[in-house]
Structure 1
Amino acid sequence: MYVVIVGAGDIGTPLIEIATAGGNEVVVIERDGARAEAATEYDCLVLNDDATVKNTLEDAGADRADALISTTDRDATNIMVCLLAQELDVPDVVSVVHDPEHRNVFRQIGVNGMENPQRLIAEHLYRAVKRPSVVDFMRIGEQAEVFEVTVGEQSPIAGRTLSSANEQGLLPDETLIVAIERENEAPLTPRGDTHIEVGDLLVVYSAEGATPDVTDAFGHPEDHSGVFRRRHERR
């Protein structure tokens, strides 16, 4: 695959490493001289130039590229690069989006905008403290989430079938169990007669996210905001 990567900063550099290690033909465009020089250690062509100039993208071979990924630290720059890439008919154009308010702009121009990875890391770290029961999660839209959670001993649905749990209102509304991983067994596709056991790792979709009301159903009635508050009061 022929890939043009714009930006060789904190986001672009790991991407360059991954793309070149995967055997792709990679061209990097970086305006900063020091960063451009650093990128030459990878097996790729590096252009020390301005990607918001159409001629630069043409020099990078964007008109024959399979994909272009813009990773600069400015949304305005990324938008301009993506628009130029579309003029050159690049099939797949992807960009980092730093300001969530700009996501609609990227959607309107038909670009797949990915939230700033640094913000995602920060959110994962915060979630690890705020909701330690949630193993991993992925945001869908503004509120909904898909997350992994282990069934605890206090879970009201442990030992019950999904049908009975639903009938008794033990699962919050608009919450679906998508998959079940159980020790020494192949992953299970949940059905109405599937029993939930303590220790099961569940993949869950929740329209309201992994809120305390949702995680309570899986035996994790924790809200660490109270912990933070009590510690603050002791000081």
Structure 2
Amino acid sequence: LEETNIEDADFFIATTGNDEANLLSCILVRKYNVPNIIARVSNPDHEEAFKEVGIDNVISPEITAAGFLEKLVTRPNVADLISLGEGDAEILDMTVTNDKVVGKRIKDISPTKDYIIIATYEKDGKLVIPQPDNTLARGEKVSVLVKRGSFSKASKKLEK
């Protein structure tokens, strides 16, 4: 570690596929006062041990992939753009297919306490900041900020 000038490092990232090697290397790096230590963990049962020794960020590619696959299965027509906060909300792309909202003004369906339409897109893909009196068209792509646990409400409102 000293040969690599660990004293000057701002980050240390342990990314082997071996949890024990990652944990041990992070523990050793702690004595060099590296400000940010990040570790990969393969076994979710080991995550708590990593956090207990003071590792700043513990990342599990397996859990991340499983969460992504779950979203693909449970909402196959929705693009997940980003999670906000600590996963408290997501920005999702949806396509308007519900006849009950086609032709309605944005202000008549958004915002609610669960979601808000934050962008619409023209046919050429150009982003439009929605105005209250804009109307929704069948097949129109929209970006929606949705609170955690409220995806189904937004989906039912905008999609069939």
Q: In structure 2, do the counterparts of structure 1 residues 142 and 105 end up closer, same or farther at CA, with 3 Å as the change threshold?
A: farther
Which residue of 2 is the match for residue 59 of structure 1? Answer: 3
Which residue of 2 is the match for residue 132 of structure 1? Answer: 76
Q: In structure 2, do the counterparts of structure 1 residues 117 and 178 end up closer, same or farther at CA, with 3 Å as the change threshold?
A: farther
Do the aligned partners of 2:80 and 2:90 also contact (CA within 8 Å) in 1? Answer: no
* Distance across 1 between alignment mates of 2:69 and 2:116: 25
Q: Say yes or no: does 1:149 pair with 2:94.
A: yes
Q: Which whole-Å deviations, capped at 9, do the CAs of 1:144-198 have from their partners, x for residues lacking one?
A: 333222222x2533322221224xxxx6523122333332152122343333332
SS in structure 2 of the partner of residue 147 of structure 1: strand
* Distance across 2 between alignment mates of 1:186 and 1:149: 15
Matching residue within 158, 163, 171 for 2:102:
158
Matching residue within 113, 119, 123 for 2:63:
119
Which residue of 2 is the match for residue 176 of structure 1? Answer: 116
* Distance across 2 between alignment mates of 1:97 and 1:190: 42
State the Cα RMSD in Å: 3.5
**Counterpart residue identity of residue 89, structure 2:** A
* Distance across 2 between alignment mates of 1:206 and 1:175: 4
Shift of 1:132: 1.5
* Distance across 1 between alignment mates of 2:119 and 2:32: 42
Do the aligned partners of 2:119 and 2:130 also contact (CA within 8 Å) in 1? Answer: yes
Which residue of 2 is the match for residue 94 of structure 1? Answer: 38
**Percent of residue pairs bearing the same amino acid type:** 22
Do the aligned partners of 1:161 and 1:192 also contact (CA within 8 Å) in 2? Answer: yes
Matching residue within 13, 17, 24 for 1:69:
13
Q: What is the TM-score with the length of structure 2 in the denominator?
A: 0.70
Taking CA–CA contacts closer than 8 Å with sequence separation of 6 or more, which of the two structures ends up with the larger relative contact order? 2
**Counterpart residue identity of residue 146, structure 1:** I
**Counterpart residue identity of residue 60, structure 1:** T
Q: In structure 2, do the counterparts of structure 1 residues 87 and 137 end up closer, same or farther at CA, with 3 Å as the change threshold?
A: same
* Distance across 2 between alignment mates of 1:218 and 1:182: 17
Shift of 1:215: 0.8
Shift of 1:65: 2.9
Q: In structure 2, do the counterparts of structure 1 residues 72 and 219 end up closer, same or farther at CA, with 3 Å as the change threshold?
A: same
Please say which structure displays the higher CA radius of gyration. 1
SS in structure 2 of the partner of residue 217 of structure 1: helix
Which residue of 2 is the match for residue 203 of structure 1? Answer: 143
Q: In structure 2, do the counterparts of structure 1 residues 79 and 138 end up closer, same or farther at CA, with 3 Å as the change threshold?
A: farther
Could you list the runs of 5+ residues in structure 2 that have no partner in the other structure? Answer: none
Q: What is the TM-score with the length of structure 1 in the denominator?
A: 0.52
